[in-house]
Structure 1
Amino acid sequence: MLVNKSAFQAGALLCLFLMTAAHAGPDEYVRTPTIEYGEQEIDTKVGVQRNRDGRSEAAYSIGYGFTPTPWWFTELYAKYAKPAGESTSFDAWEWENRFQLTETGKYPVDVGFLLEVERPQNHAEGYELTYGPMFQTLWNNYQANFNVLFQRHVHASEVFDTELHYQVQVKRLGNTEKLEWGVQAFGNVGQWDNWRSSSEQEFKIGPALFGKIKTGTKQAIRWNTAILAGTNHATPNTTLRLQMEYEF
């Protein structure tokens, strides 16, 4: 049975909001499956969260990324963290790789795959791997993204569960990219094959803004920011996150 494109996209968008649960660091951001070949970028991310006990913590990162091929984006960045009541210190190196698996706009849903390798400063944690599919679709004037990500540690001194995370973003597309608005959400259901109860799953959601400032013929500053509210006691009360990319 054939399903027309509009019905498929409407169903996909609805499914994004039917998901429940969550986890993400304060500087976490929504990955996208599409790649612009030939583009390089310097990327900074900042996040601050207010925990349920009233204490705050923050995370920061800076990285450099480029596109070796039309279907592969790779970035290496340094991560810093400021735990509650402590000073800022180096936290980890992370190598991000995004692979575009379908031609942009050729199918109702664009598909990609994410593979991240993180080496924490605390080597007892081994290596943290994050991997999974990324999906993007257009429906009228809206762009929707949905990512399903598995996270596990290898070569660690103790056993870590393989967790299932997800990311959701819906953006209202404007006539230009100067300023757009939408919604972002981040979740973690816990162990991938043994989900926590809904009250113990982390989930945060809130309004987001997106913008692009052209600084030259092929240069631009692209940014997005969101204020996220935790929906239960397993999630930080409030998170403010910002990502800025200098593209050239």
Structure 2
Amino acid sequence: MKVGRLCFGRASRWSHAAFAWVATVAVGLVPATSVRADPGYYVLAPYDNDGLRVVDLRYWTVKHHGEPEVIWPEVGLGYGINSRWMTELLYSTIGPANWDIVPSSLAWQNEWLLTQGEWPIDLALHASLIREAGVDGRIWSIEYGPLLQTDWGRTQLNANVLFERRFEPDDTQPIQMKYQWQIRHRWHPLMNFGLQGFGELGPWSHWDEAGRQSHRAGPALFGHVDLGDGDASAQTLAYQAAYLLGSVYRRRGSMFTVRVQWQF
């Protein structure tokens, strides 16, 4: 299976070194505000995105029974450094459903393709450096892990295992283990159908009891619209949305996610 690129973009004039410098500086500038760390749920699907530039708009919610809904509006800027490395700077906010939002986190996210069709299952590596908002000084965390992707006819399958480590002044928590999976059937460019699932298992070396773990899954829709004529300067508008049921933060609840990308 060959990992396919979502769309083709013009060669960027951005400097690779400048992009890395801006991302590093910006991660340190998030104001310290008391909010709960957000789980950030979008399935990581690696592609060859050499030269691709992305404006990434995200919105997702968490709703527990009998409690107000919490929302996470997010915006990101991404760039395909080369055919194997995609990087993105993502700014997240949090608040109630009336949009009384405050800063939540700033993340520098990276994916590296380790294979590109040599094996039946393609392998990539994900790593994020996250600056979380908090009242007790800077709270940092790192997230990393392998990403697996393959095709079965017109159906794409993804399975990701992620590890998260938080760094706080009095933090003694071990590395946490999470997972993602996705099934996506390419029915039509404007409309793909699928399923998504996410979960948190607890410490990687000793999972939590089943009642303390979180698992949720549900239907998802995907698609894209070509805004150009297919040449090197073409632009694409891609979208995805999902509604998930199960447990969130170890409690019964639901999540809704939507993501729109302008790719050029």
TM-score for the superposition, normalised by structure 1: 0.83
Within a 5 Å distance, the mapping from 1:1-248 to structure 2 comes to 25=38, 27-82=40-95, 87-103=100-116, 105-122=117-134, 124=137, 126-154=139-167, 156-174=169-187, 176-217=188-229, 218-230=234-246, 234-248=250-264
Distance in 1 (CA, whole Å) between partners of 2:98 and 2:184 is 36
* Structure 1 range deviating more: 148-157 or 199-208: 148-157
User: Residue type matched to 2:191 in 1?
Assistant: L
- What's the offset of the Cα at 1:235? 3.7
User: Partners of 1:110 and 1:68 in 2: how far apart?
Assistant: 19
Contact 1:126 1:157 in 2 (8 A): no
The answer (yes or no) to whether the contact 1:150–1:162 under 8 Å persists in 2 is yes
Letter in 2 for 1:37: D
CA-CA distance at 1:156 after TM superposition: 3.8
Q: What is the distance in 2 between the residues matched to 1:203 and 1:116?
A: 22
Cα separation, partners in 2 of 1:26 and 1:75, compared to 1, 3 Å: same
AA in 2 matched with 1:117: L
Contact 1:44 1:245 in 2 (8 A): yes
CA 247–220 in structure 1, closer or farther in 2 if over 3 Å, else same: same
| In 2: Cα distance, 1:150 partner to 1:71 partner | 21
Unaligned segments of structure 1, at least 5 residues: 6-23
Instruction: Sort the Cα spacing of 1:167 and 1:233 in 2 relative to 1 into closer, same or farther, 3 A.
Output: closer
Question: Contact conserved, 1:49 with 1:236, CA < 8 A, in 2?
Answer: no
Once the two structures are superposed, residues 84-109 of structure 1 have per-residue CA deviations (whole angstroms, 9 ceiling, x without a partner) of 89931011111000000001x33110
Structure 1 segments, 4+ long, off by >4 Å, are 24-27, 83-86
Paired with 1:47 and 1:124, the residues of 2 have a C-alpha distance of 27
Distance in 1 (alpha carbons) for counterparts of 2:55 and 2:99? 28
Mapped partners of 1:35, 1:54: distance in 2: 42
Contact map agreement 2:248 2:254 (CA 8 A) in 1: no
- Percent sequence identity is 26
What secondary structure sits across from 2:149 in the alignment?
A: strand
Change beyond 3 A, Cα 1:162–1:124: farther
Which string of whole-angstrom CA distances, capped at 9 and with x for unpartnered residues, describes residues 7-54 of structure 1? xxxxxxxxxxxxxxxxx9565100012222111100011101211343
CA, structure 1 residues 102+84, in 2 after alignment: closer, same or farther (shift >3 Å)? same
Size of the aligned set, in residue pairs, is 224
Q: Which residue of 2 aligns with 1:15?
A: none
Contact in 2 for aligned 1:47/1:241 (Cα 8 Å): yes
Asked whether the 8 Å contact 2:247–2:254 carries over to 1, the reply is no
Q: Structure 2 CA distance, aligned partners of 1:58 and 1:220?
A: 27
TM-score, normalised by the number of residues in structure 2: 0.78
Any unmatched runs of 5+ in structure 2?
2-36
How far does residue 236 in structure 1 lie from its aligned partner after superposition?
4.4
**How far apart are 1:137 and its partner, in Å?**
0.7
> d(CA) in 1 for partners of 2:96 and 2:143?
22
Q: Which secondary structure state, in structure 2, belongs to the residue aligned with residue 170 of structure 1?
A: strand
Q: Does the aligned pair in 2 maintain the 1:27–1:242 contact within 8 Å? A: no
